[in-house]
Structure 1
Amino acid sequence: MGQGYTLVSPLQLAMSYAAIANGGVCYYPRLVDKVLKQDGSPLLDEQGNPAAPPPRVRSDLRQEIPPDRIELVRKGLWKVVNEDGGTGGRARLKGVVVAGKTGTAQATERGHEENVAWFACLAPFDHPKYVVVVMVQGASGHGGEVAGPIATRILERTLAQDEGKFDMKVAWLTPAHHANPLQLIKAVAYHDAGGNLGSDDEEGADNAQGAAAQMASSDASPDVEPEADSQGSVRRRGSAPVVRTTSAAPQAPRNFFERLFGVRRQPAPAPPPPPPNRRRGTNTR
């Protein structure tokens, strides 16, 4: 995800959003919630404990990040979906407050450029119960247009299943086939999405402009530095000796993902040594 140095998988992003939802605790993911007997009672081990192990904490950020900062992030996620002009407007649901964030990354596959559309959300906002992360690779639209409606459909049916209003039917489907597999997905829309209250406000293209290069004027005099002596000191005309010093680069603070997953940045390369002292010789014949 993204164009920078922070790369995360959909599962890692879901773990991060779960930590934001519960106040700063990141748990290890697991597939089994509980093990039941045929009569519906929990299966116990020899010590009388549930057979399924309890959730394990991976990282606890409550001592590093104040609660007001986590709440600030939660409010920002709420605005993305629920404020006019937000890029996640299509993720709104009737009767349920959703908070989330859209994202659009770029990728190149065999010389063909495409978008990677993202949408991550949590719901219900006041008492989060579910986190949904959707990544669609091979999109020409943005995260709010492509991934947002898919996440909304997952949330809509999951919440309805909790209330006993939706029965998931499992059926065999033929493999998807398209005459042009390189055709990119522009947007996702469901014809029966009557409960979706989304708007048409979506992410715009990134029109970032490159910085213009500044060139020195042609009549500028060259800046020639005198040679250093054997101790690495440089004496400028009419000034005291200047000693080259190498200061250690300040260590950058860990970002949110590095605090959760313990990723460390690679150490900066050591600066090159000062040039050797050159002695001026005389050419004799």
Structure 2
Amino acid sequence: PRVVKRVIHPRKGLLIQNRPNLKVNLLQEGVKPEHLERIRKGMWMAANELGGTARRASVKDRDVCAKTGTAQTTDMGIKSNDAWTVAFAPYDQPKYVVVVAVKRGTSGGAVAGPLVHLIMRGLFARDEGLTLPLTKMKEFAGDFIVRDKVELPDEGGLLDIAYEDVGETGNEISDIPMAPPITTSSTPRIAKPTIEEEADEEGSQAPKAIIVEED
């Protein structure tokens, strides 16, 4: 929404000035610079190293940093997922931030990641002097189709590279090996004593009962 910085009418002049304001400065709120840099580095690794979940958001020869995610939601009483990818670029001096959310997307990396890739490619192309063919969008009715993957024109094989995205839906706990259940008996067990009565001076214990034999 903020790709357009301003709208200028040829006769009326400036119509819209869309300049974002920084709402929260994490460094001023107490986040340490080394922790913030660790997050930035992790987002770079997710988009640029083999096995990263955000590999499909990568752009050739550009330092795109990204993080994928899948949010559990409910649509009309039916359990569903929303696919997310958030990215910024370049790494050293960030200029662009792109966030894509896809309703009923099964995977942030496979569904939202390619869309971030496409937007970033357009932004970098504009920086190189290319004019983007922007047109007014028509009204779109939408649907409730589950999106498993988004196919886009490839660029140097970036969309076919290996990546890992398990969805991050919170169901990963089902893959953790659990301890075997504790078996319980319907008959209560009576604990056996572990402490015996103190022995007398002769080293024997006092009898609990005296048995008398009769002739």
State TM-score, norm by structure 1: 0.53
SS in structure 1 of the partner of residue 91 of structure 2? coil
The counterpart of 2:130, out of the listed 144, 156, 165, is: 165
Equivalent residue, structure 1, for 2:146:
184
Gapped regions of structure 1 (runs ≥ 5) = 1-10, 12-29, 44-50, 222-285
Residue 85, structure 1, aligned to residue 51, structure 2:
yes
SS in structure 2 of the partner of residue 135 of structure 1? strand
Q: Distance in 2 between matches of 1:182 and 1:58?
A: 34
TM superposition shift of 1:108: 2.3
When residues 220 and 52 of structure 1 are mapped into structure 2, their CA distance, relative to the original with a 3 A threshold, is farther
Equivalent residue, structure 2, for 1:150:
115
Q: Distance in 2 between matches of 1:36 and 1:182?
A: 38
Which protein is bigger by CA-based radius of gyration? 2
SS in structure 1 of the partner of residue 60 of structure 2? coil
TM superposition shift of 1:54: 7.5
Letter of the 1:189 partner, please give it.
E
Letter of the 1:202 partner, please give it.
E
Tell me if the contact between 1:134 and 1:151 (Cα under 8 Å) persists in the aligned partners: yes
Tell me if the contact between 1:87 and 1:203 (Cα under 8 Å) persists in the aligned partners: yes
* Identical columns (%): 34
Letter of the 1:83 partner, please give it.
E
Q: Distance in 1 between matches of 2:4 and 2:117?
A: 24
SS in structure 1 of the partner of residue 147 of structure 2? coil
SS in structure 1 of the partner of residue 79 of structure 2? strand
SS in structure 2 of the partner of residue 58 of structure 1? coil
Q: Deviations over 1:66-92 (max 9, x none)?
A: 211111111110111111111111111
Residue 197, structure 1, aligned to residue 162, structure 2:
no
When residues 86 and 163 of structure 1 are mapped into structure 2, their CA distance, relative to the original with a 3 A threshold, is same
Residue 117, structure 1, aligned to residue 83, structure 2:
yes
1:1-150 aligned at under 5 Å gives the runs 33=5, 38=10, 56-63=21-28, 64-139=30-105, 141-150=106-115
Q: Distance in 2 between matches of 1:87 and 1:220?
A: 55
Letter of the 2:111 partner, please give it.
V
TM superposition shift of 1:172: 5.2
Q: Distance in 2 between matches of 1:91 and 1:32?
A: 22
